[in-house]
Amino acid sequence: MKCRDRAVSEVIGTILIVAIVITAVSITGVALWSQPAPEKIPSLDAGISKDTGNNMIRLYHAGGDSLNRENIYILVDGSDYTSSFTKSGVSGWTTWATAEWLSYDYTGRTEPRKVQIIYTSPRSTSVLAVAQF
């Protein structure tokens, strides 16, 4: 074997190793950076209270993000009562923002034991607040 032939095989070997490393880094990069951005879950500081004397559940938005009615469920003892909650006596509310109250009159029904506020979107579901009485 001539001295010139050995140098060619070393160069080819080096080129192959560099190509393999670049391919591996490219595949790893595509796998890591092709994930969708994480969804922003709204924050909520809510006060949930039960006025047994008046048969009312009251929810107070004490801080955090405004919530659209279409993205939340208010569960009372596991059942959806979102449409039964009123804001300032109006049942057609669309958003719930800081310093606003939502109320539910449970007169004639079993006294509630648990209230949950659930956020939903096409990609996720999260519990924002829970109260047990």
What are the pLDDT digits (tens) for 72-86? 999 999 999 999 999
Domain that holds residue 11: 1-34
Band (pLDDT 50/70/90 cuts) for residue 36 is: confident
Q: How far apart are CA 126 and CA 124, in angstroms?
A: 7
Q: How far apart are CA 56 and CA 106, in angstroms?
A: 6
Report pLDDT for 88. 83
Q: Say if residue 7's pLDDT is above 70.
A: no
Helix, strand, or coil here: 90? strand
Report pLDDT for 39. 83
Q: Say if residue 8's pLDDT is above 80.
A: no
Q: How far apart are CA 66 and CA 78, in angstroms?
A: 23
- Are residue 17 and residue 58 in the same domain, yes or no? no
- Are residue 63 and residue 118 in the same domain, yes or no? yes
Q: Are 85 and 103 in contact (CB under 8 A)?
A: yes
pLDDT for 62-112, tens place per residue?
999 999 999 999 999 999 999 999 998 787 899 999 999 999 999 999 999
- Are residue 91 and residue 119 in the same domain, yes or no? yes
Asked whether residue 39 is domain-assigned, the answer is no
Q: CATH number, domain at 74?
A: 2.60.40
